[in-house]
Amino acid sequence: MQNKSIAQLAADLRLRTYSSVELTKHYLERIARLDPRLNSFVTVAADSALVAAERADQMLKSGEAGPLTGIPIAHKDIFCTQGIKTSCGSRMLDNFVAPYDATVVEKLAAAGAVVLGKTNMDEFAMGSSNETSFYGPVKNPWDETKVPGGSSGGSAAAVAARLCAVATGTDTGGSIRQPAALCGITGIKPTYGRCSRWGMIAFASSLDQAGVMARSAADAAFLLDEMAGFDSRDSTSANVPVPDYVDALDDGIKGLKIGLPKEYFGDGLDSRVAAVIQDAIKEYERLGAEIVEISLPNSPLSVPVYYVVAPAECSSNLARFDGVRYGHRCENPEDLEDLYKRSRAEGFGAEVQRRIMIGAYVLSAGYYDAYYLKAQKIRHLIADDFKRAFEQVDVIMGPTSPTTAFPIGDKMDDPVSMYLNDIYTIATNLAGLPGMSIPVAPVDGMPVGLQIIGNYFDEARLLNVAHQFQHATHWHQAAPAGFE
Ligand code: GLN
């Protein structure tokens, strides 16, 4: 059952080949047996999952079911879930049970999806390896000595290991696409504002975007169909009509213009990764696409710009965690200042503290113009590069990540080398554009992701372009040994 697509599962559920309760129990059994090796779940919500599965079976019986009714999913632990702990990977929120559901959670529940649990992640979504989680690192199911990527590493590992049919993730600088690449799955970060941020714990509000981690573009389309859309509770939610993503999957791609930015194929890219990315692009040519060389001249500035903008926004967003209203509170504070200081020092890990300090620094009176304002100006130049590129091409392709998954512990003492993991993904967030990662041929048995970047609100085309590749190839079907 765990290898079936959402379309197949939905068809089986409708025919009563098995019930949603049986399917849910199957996944819960896999999680209990296999997840101790991976640590991809922070919380398994077996009881509420079975209640939801029973409700889904009722919906299936009474003919009110949609394609997601009864399908077992997992949420990244950054989405607030009423009655189930929402930790955001942090000691700060280890005791936090949200009094409401995030919009994305609410919409998927209304569609009848069954939530198996909450997945592990880098603390407050800050990281590229899942090693900053308070709950310990997640292991990559393709090689348990390696990282799954981050920050949505728990969702990526869980989907790759077939511990859920599909999962949610969030992407501020690459956190859906990079772990999707490192775990050999399909991830889509929609246009900024496409999916509601309401109830999604904020990291860098002008960059954060919810999306999907799935085994195929077709599976991702089913989820995005339900998740996307305007939400009046999120002031940056886009009021743009949502097309039917599943409908668009089968469109032809003959004549598709693919831009290859020369900056994405330069120094720093592993040559074996480059070779399998080039092979994937040749496959697109065979499918009728046309290749155009392009340039995104400001893209080398995206990592430094991001590490000013994202910490600035995080230092403001994380000010709410003060030990007073909710979250971790230190023991026996002497006075209010001591309460703030010790609650935050104990509740936040090293990477989060580093970002808060950088953020407070770049926003401070003497440095605001030199760092924050300058970064915002360069952010515009980066977005303009893409604007020019999309006058010539339909989509942009390149590697998602410069290397395959690296060993756990390898980069934890070197934040800059960790930050460089996102060199190809961050510009997309700075511009607010949608991006995807799909698996191509592996290197030394480890997955590699092809990144596909689209114009604003062009998710249907991204999913279509990804689906056509997956229709012609089999890379997305590979399962890690021991998790088939
Ligand atoms: N790896 C990047 C960071 O550490 C991006 C994280 C994300 O997209 N949430 O900030």
285: alpha, beta or left, given left = phi > 0 and alpha = psi -120 to 50? alpha
* pLDDT in the model for residue 198: 98
- Confirm whether 151 is a catalytic residue: yes
417: pLDDT strictly greater than 90: no
Do both 55 and 152 map to the same domain? yes
For the stretch 409-438, what's the b/e string if a residue is b when 16 or more beta carbons lie within 10 angstroms of its beta carbon?
eebbeeeeebbbbbbbbbbbbbbbbbbbbb
- The pLDDT tens digits of the residues spanning 263-314 come to 999 989 999 999 999 999 999 999 999 999 999 999 999 999 999 999 999 9
Would you say residue 294 lies in a domain?
Answer: no
Report yes or no on whether pTM surpasses 0.85.
yes
Catalytic residue, candidates 87, 151, 155, 216: 151
Q: Which domain-ending residue is among 348, 377, 406?
A: 377
Do both 172 and 135 map to the same domain? yes
Report residue 141's pLDDT band, with 50, 70 and 90 as the boundaries.
Answer: very high
Would you say residue 324 lies in a domain?
Answer: yes
Q: Which domain-ending residue is among 353, 377, 401?
A: 377
* Residue-by-residue DSSP string for 422-439: GTTTHHHHHHT--EEEEE
Do both 438 and 461 map to the same domain? yes
- Confirm whether 175 is a catalytic residue: yes
Q: Which of 67, 126, 75, 68 is nearest to 103 (CA)?
A: 75
Q: How far apart are CA 209 and CA 197, in angstroms?
A: 7
Which atom, in ligand 1's list, is nearest to the CA of 152?
9
Phi, psi (rounded to 5 degrees) for 299: -60, -30
Which atom, in ligand 1's list, is nearest to the CA of 429?
8
Do both 173 and 48 map to the same domain? yes
Would you say residue 279 lies in a domain?
Answer: no
Give the number of other CB atoms < 10 A from CB of residue 43. Answer: 20
Q: Kindly list the protein residues whose Cβ atom lies closer than 6 A to any atom of ligand 1.
A: 125-128, 151, 171-175, 203, 310, 422
Do both 106 and 189 map to the same domain? yes
Q: Which domain-ending residue is among 352, 377, 402?
A: 377
- The pLDDT tens digits of the residues spanning 345-391 come to 999 999 999 999 999 999 998 999 999 999 999 999 999 999 999 99
Would you say residue 31 lies in a domain?
Answer: yes
Q: Which of 446, 434, 350 is nearest to 401 (CA)?
A: 446
Would you say residue 283 lies in a domain?
Answer: no
How many domains does one find in the chain? 2
Please tell me the residue having the least CA distance from ligand 1 atom 10.
126
* Whether the Cβ atoms of residue 114 and residue 52 lie closer than 8 Å to each other: yes
- The pLDDT tens digits of the residues spanning 105-135 come to 999 999 999 999 999 999 999 999 999 999 9
Do both 325 and 437 map to the same domain? no
Report residue 187's pLDDT band, with 50, 70 and 90 as the boundaries.
Answer: very high
- Confirm whether 85 is a catalytic residue: no
Do both 70 and 104 map to the same domain? yes
Do both 239 and 190 map to the same domain? yes
Which atom, in ligand 1's list, is nearest to the CA of 421?
1
> Which residue type sits at 397?
M
The residues near 262 (Cβ < 8 Å, ≥ 6 apart) are: 293, 294, 295
Would you say residue 411 lies in a domain?
Answer: yes
Q: Which of 41, 67, 24, 78 is nearest to 211 (CA)?
A: 78
Would you say residue 289 lies in a domain?
Answer: no
Do both 331 and 396 map to the same domain? no
Phi, psi (rounded to 5 degrees) for 85: -50, 140
* pLDDT in the model for residue 66: 95
Do both 121 and 216 map to the same domain? yes
Would you say residue 386 lies in a domain?
Answer: no
Tokens at residue 80, please? 């607030």
Name the one residue in this structure whose structure tokens are 């799909």: 438
Q: CATH no. for residue 125?
A: 3.90.1300.10
Do both 349 and 458 map to the same domain? no
Domain that residue 10 falls in: 6-256+392-477
Rounded distance from Cα 13 to ligand 1 centre (Å): 37
Q: How far apart are CA 199 and CA 207, in angstroms?
A: 15
Tokens at residue 7, please? 């379309």
Do both 344 and 216 map to the same domain? no
* pLDDT in the model for residue 83: 96
